[in-house]
Chain A
Amino acid sequence: MFTHLLPIVKARTGITAKVIAQGTGQALETARRGDADVVFVHDPEAEARFVAEGHGIRRQLVMYNDFVLVGPAADPAGVKGREVLPALQAIRRGQRLFVSRGDKSGTHQAELRLWKEAGIEVNAATDRWYRAVGQGMGPALNIAAASDAYILTDRATWISFLNKAGLVLLVEGDRRLHNQYSLILVNPERHPEARSAEGLRFIDFLLSPEGQQEIARFRVEGQQLFFPNASLTQ
């Protein structure tokens, strides 16, 4: 999406943003060390911690999409069309292979919350069916595709992913699968070297009607991947 957005940001604000693509956990760590000016993340709890620690200010909702559960077309756990919690319970009951990001990313944290809500305690070290791979969404999807495993992914990565092999989308549309993205400015009082004036302009543009429209316009294979919702900001 940034390939679509950045030239527009550059044209409208004069800012050349440099994107370092990391999972939310790693991105917030990078910002905690003062090595980022703005973070664009999706893990409400970790974001709240980051702001409470004084590393970030002005957390704003910017857009959302949703998570989906994908898995082998044969669907041995029989989760197709179900809500996400019963689906996870069925995977657990059948001891079906499940690939987890295992990297403290926003998607990984969302997955862990869902297991918890489903009343299941997963243990990556001892559960043979649960494979925490400690990698990004793409590599994790590659592993799931190669081993016919179930996996939770955000819809944008799923649509853009080109190596789906035998994987198909099985569970979607549950309100628990909502995936909210936020923008946070790195606190200039805590990190004086951060380029906060530019960071603020960058954020303001993405929250402006024009920036929001550009987010909505981004499409892959004809599908809209992200839904702007900055107006809902508290």
Chain B
Amino acid sequence: MSFDKERFKSPYSFLFGSMNLRTKTLLIISLVGLILFAIVVNSLFINVDNITTNFSIKNSQPSLQHPFGTDWMGRDMFIRTMKGLGLSVIIGAMASILSTMIAIFLALSSTLGKYFDHCVSGVTNLFLSIPHILLIILISISLGGGIIGVVVGVSLTHWIPLTRVLRAEIKQINTSTYVKLSKNFGRTKWWIAKNHLLPLLIPQIVLGTILIFPHAIMHEASVTFLGFGLSPHEPAIGIILSESMKYLSNGAWWLAFFPGLSLLIIVLLFDLIGDNLQRLLDPTQANE
């Protein structure tokens, strides 16, 4: 009758030993969260003016002093990259929070009536049919580029999946027997929204916001890289990458490689948080 521990061991048991999956998940989330937080805080303390130009060490390969090498003006690429990543995370945060707000607003308005619901699904389908990147560029240009242009552009294109999830979820909860029974007990619509709907939606909203993050960061970088996003004097990863293009043919591979890799790692870290959070919130998976 005893519980056979061996059989339940997860394939990742070498990582955190005997900890159970939920503890591990929480640990991963807080660790990754800490790293991201550190990047943002760190970048706030880097003053762009302090990235000194020093032509005597221009275009030097990665070394212990300059782990990511230096550029054609002798600036340390590690510091530039760190500053750029911080900016990316901040822009990603703004864009995903804005996107989430749009998604919540649209999902809630779809419950107001048949007409509203049709409108919401119409707008959703319209945005689905236009390629992301094109729309971001258009919006960004029409708002004059810069941080505002990119943030608005990215947020206006990333609310779609979350809206659909929330809309479906609300529909399902609203047609459930327990909500109908609640009405029969004389509970008001407001009471039901507060006590039945909201607690069930909050996990979805949190998860949705985090899952938008990596997309927002990637899109911000690509639009900026193409020259339709942040202005060239912002220390953004997209700018660093597009500048490096000119020097790549001279063999300065580190100018693109390290900033690109760092961006990829940041995106993967967010993905990791999202995945783990999903596992934590979804009971069927959490028990695996």
Task: Decide whether A and B assemble into one complex.
Answer: no
Report which A residues bind B (CB closer than 8 A): none
